[in-house]
């Protein structure tokens, strides 16, 4: 492990007694490039939530002068389990493995095998823990996810609408009856119109429901002829990161 990476890892572990590091053997196996494996002990004996932590080049600790934007990434169904390496297959954690100048602190949790959808309680804890213990800007916290993680993004945003500055859900549907909670949240949704796993209607009905409630900050991009993997071209598009950085939470 590079000296700087080890220093950052030890700092993040020490700043909160609720963060418990993985064993040295497991950590050494899982760590790659500029992401470190972390584990958050959940309240009320709910077990733990493992996740990757990426700290961008220039991050200088909790007391540093610069407050960084924070991105939460939720993976899809196929990346569940206890092998954190699977979380890096797609999306931002794949991107940052080769991009140390990625301009966000990135948190990428892994859902345990026994669950088939993201559990909102543990995610709320993780978001609050990350904001409290990392040198991030609480007004620039962003949420994104693909497939099952897209659905999780809709659900978590509806549960914590005042927490997120913007949300990018990809090929995952939400519950239209939560639309009234999302009218003030900037949302850019993506889906392929040939998706045979999650129908594109799952996204369009959410966008339409928010607009019906009076929301004017939601938009969507539908890819013609694209099946379920609409996330590859979305996460490779620099415009989405530029758009995120333009959004700031409003009181």
Domains of the chain by residue range: 3-245
The mean pLDDT of the chain is 87
Query: Quick one: CA dihedral 112, 123, 151, 192, positive or negative?
Result: negative
CA distance 1 to 31: 8
- Report which secondary-structure segment, H or E, holds 37: strand 35-41
Write out pLDDT tens, residues 105-150.
Answer: 999 999 999 999 999 999 999 999 999 999 999 999 999 999 999 9
Question: Would the pLDDT of 15 be above 60?
Answer: no
Write out pLDDT tens, residues 47-106.
Answer: 899 999 999 988 988 777 889 999 999 999 999 999 999 999 999 999 998 887 899 999
Residue with tokens 């213990």: 133
Higher pLDDT, 154 or 4: 154
Class of domain 3-245: alpha beta
Structure tokens at 233: 């071209």
Question: Would the pLDDT of 196 be above 80?
Answer: yes
pTM of the model: 0.86
Q: What is the pLDDT of residue 251?
A: 66
Q: What is the pLDDT of residue 26?
A: 41
Higher pLDDT, 160 or 23: 160
How many residues does the structure list for the chain? 251
Q: What is the pLDDT of residue 97?
A: 85
């Amino acid at each position: 492990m590079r000296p700087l990476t080890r220093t950052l890892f030890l700092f993040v572990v020490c700043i909160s007694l609720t963060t418990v590091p993985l064993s040295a053997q497991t950590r050494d196996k899982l760590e790659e490039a500029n992401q470190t494996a972390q584990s958050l002990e959940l309240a009320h004996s709910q077990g733990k939530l493992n996740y990757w932590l990426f700290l961008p080049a220039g991050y200088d600790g909790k007391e540093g002068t610069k407050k960084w934007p924070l991105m939460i990434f939720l993976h899809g169904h196929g990346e569940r389990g206890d092998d954190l390496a699977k979380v890096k297959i797609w999306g931002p954690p794949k991107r940052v493995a080769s991009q140390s100048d990625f301009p966000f602190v990135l948190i990428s949790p892994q859902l345990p095998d026994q669950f088939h959808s993201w559990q909102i309680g543990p995610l709320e804890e993780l978001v609050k823990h990350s904001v409290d213990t990392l040198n991030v800007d609480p007004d620039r916290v962003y949420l994104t996810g693909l497939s099952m993680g897209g659905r999780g993004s809709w659900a978590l945003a509806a549960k914590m609408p005042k927490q997120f500055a913007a949300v990018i859900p990809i090929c995952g549907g939400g519950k239209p009856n939560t639309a009234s909670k999302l009218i003030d949240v900037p949302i850019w949704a993506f889906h392929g119109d040939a998706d045979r796993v999650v129908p594109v209607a799952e996204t369009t009905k959410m966008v339409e429901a928010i607009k019906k409630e009076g929301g004017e900050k939601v938009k969507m991009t539908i890819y013609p002829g694209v099946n379920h993997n609409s996330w590859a071209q979305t996460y490779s598009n620099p415009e989405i990161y530029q758009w995120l950085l333009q959004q700031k939470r409003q009181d």
